[in-house]
A = this chain, B = another copy of it.
Amino acid sequence: MIFDNLPTPVLILDRGVLQRNLDAMRERMRDRGVMLRPHLKTAKSAKVATLALGDTDGAVTVSTLAEAEYFFAAGFTDIAYAVGIAPARLDRVAAIRTKGCALKILTDNAPAAEAVAEHAAGNSSTFDVLIEVDTGEGRAGLPPDSDDLLEIGRILDAAPGVALAGVLTHAGHSYACEGPEGIRDVAEEERAGIVAAAERLRAAGLPCPIVSTGSTPTATHVEDVSGVTEMRPGVYMFNDLKQLSIGSCARGDLALSVLASVIGQNRRHGHLLLDAGALALSKDISAHDADPAIGYGEVCDAETLEPLAGLHVAGVSQEHGVVPVDDPTMFDRLPIGARVRILPNHACITAAGYDRYHVLENGAVTEEWDRVNGW
């Protein structure tokens, strides 16, 4: 059996599926005529990033400065840090940039823009700054028509050493869609909003070279990208039950799973116990919007990844997963020590519990690829 020699729990990455997902997104972006700047917050792996870029230019996106430092050390030099900058992080940003990394930062507010300008003036540091625009998600960012957009643009553009690098948005509300049609509508909302913001900056005489959009759902289903220069999907590399539930991928596109062992059979209470609990799976239940029965993950045959008669991890404690069993023959099929694979709700959050991937290729686990966690 493929996994007999592996400890559990471990994170299994199917290289064949990964490669198909990476190729499909690269081809899609090429067809649309827009640059792919993959978001590495899901994979957090230099090896995956290299495969994601393939023969394209090396622009990437990160969610932490730890990722920026790790990927820069691995040879990636054009990095967008796509979380609003905290002024206290500017020293660290400047240090990375001084070493030769074209690290771009993000803000949606004047105080941070002023802090960037002051840092540059006081330390002879330089910064490339994107302005965050809200195109419907309602989390961070300015509305395209806001007065602050121009004010922040002017602060940045006027500051010596600071370059206004463009505008960036994340249509996170695409995760609330119920299929491709709704996602296409959000993708157009995202495009129209960010292009409107870019045009307002340009009309005010400000530069706006980068016009950045992208989530996995919108990058997958977008049709018109007029005016957009790059897209930043991330979870498409692995996909997960959440992406499956909103029609952002197909079942065969799920590249990530958790290998676990059966450590208990509680026939009295009608459940199996796995050695994958809250730390191995995370407590993310984001696919519940579509199907609460998914619990903390779908339990599959370890070898084939076929679903096992509707088994799900219904409960987790720190190191235990509880899998209700309706059909008592499952106790015979999954004896103590048996292996299963669990498909997670949300690849980004589940993967964060691990420091490496065990890479499955041609029916064998052949490599381990590291990940960068923390901040």
Selected interface stretch from A135-143, A187-195, A240-248: A135-143
A341 contacts the other chain (Cβ, under 8 Å)?
Answer: no
Contact B275 A348 (CB under 8 A): no
| Chain A 116-150 interface 0/1 with B at a Cβ cutoff of 8 Å (1 = within) | 00000000000000000000001110010000000
- Interface residue from B89, B115, B352, B354 paired with A279 (Cβ < 8 Å): B352
In A58-113, the 8 Å CB interface with B consists of: 63-64, 83-89, 92, 108-109, 111-112
The interface residues of chain B lying within 8 Å CB-to-CB of A84 are 263-264, 273, 275
Contact A140 B9 (CB under 8 A): no
A265 contacts the other chain (Cβ, under 8 Å)?
Answer: yes
A283 contacts the other chain (Cβ, under 8 Å)?
Answer: yes
Expressed in whole angstroms, the minimum distance between the Cβ of A281 and any Cβ of chain B is: 11
- Cβ-closest chain B residue relative to A275: B86
Selected interface stretch from A45-53, A300-308, A313-321, A359-367: A313-321
Contact A139 B273 (CB under 8 A): yes
A374 contacts the other chain (Cβ, under 8 Å)?
Answer: yes
Expressed in whole angstroms, the minimum distance between the Cβ of A131 and any Cβ of chain B is: 12
Expressed in whole angstroms, the minimum distance between the Cβ of A56 and any Cβ of chain B is: 24
A353 contacts the other chain (Cβ, under 8 Å)?
Answer: yes
CA A285 – CA B285 in complex, angstroms?
11
A284 contacts the other chain (Cβ, under 8 Å)?
Answer: yes
Contact B139 A263 (CB under 8 A): no
A337 contacts the other chain (Cβ, under 8 Å)?
Answer: yes
A111/B335 contact (C-beta < 8 A), A83-B263, A139-B320, A275-B86 known: yes
The interface residues of chain B lying within 8 Å CB-to-CB of A115 are 336-337
Contact A319 B41 (CB under 8 A): yes
- Interface residue from B263, B266, B280 paired with A86 (Cβ < 8 Å): B263
A7 contacts the other chain (Cβ, under 8 Å)?
Answer: yes
Expressed in whole angstroms, the minimum distance between the Cβ of A104 and any Cβ of chain B is: 16
A83/B337 contact (C-beta < 8 A), A109-B264, A279-B349, A282-B283 known: no
The interface residues of chain B lying within 8 Å CB-to-CB of A352 are 279, 353
A8 contacts the other chain (Cβ, under 8 Å)?
Answer: yes
The interface residues of chain B lying within 8 Å CB-to-CB of A355 are 373-374
Contact B284 A111 (CB under 8 A): no
Expressed in whole angstroms, the minimum distance between the Cβ of A11 and any Cβ of chain B is: 10
A278 contacts the other chain (Cβ, under 8 Å)?
Answer: yes
Contact B336 A111 (CB under 8 A): yes
CA A89 – CA B6 in complex, angstroms?
10
- Cβ-closest chain B residue relative to A172: B317
The interface residues of chain B lying within 8 Å CB-to-CB of A335 are 111
In A1-43, the 8 Å CB interface with B consists of: 4, 7-10, 41
- Cβ-closest chain B residue relative to A278: B349
The interface residues of chain B lying within 8 Å CB-to-CB of A64 are 319
CA A10 – CA B66 in complex, angstroms?
13
CA A185 – CA B318 in complex, angstroms?
24
Taking Cβ atoms with an 8 Å cutoff, the residues of A that contact B are 4, 7-10, 41, 63-64, 83-89, 92, 108-109, 111-112, 115, 138-140, 143, 172, 261-266, 268-269, 273, 275, 278-280, 282-285, 317-320, 322, 335-337, 348-349, 352-355, 373-375
Known pairs A63-B319, A86-B263, A138-B266; list 12 more (Cβ under 8 Å). Answer: A9-B375, A10-B375, A63-B318, A84-B264, A88-B261, A108-B264, A112-B263, A139-B320, A140-B320, A278-B284, A352-B353, A355-B373
The 3 nearest A-B residue pairs measured at CB: A111-B336, A84-B263, A86-B261
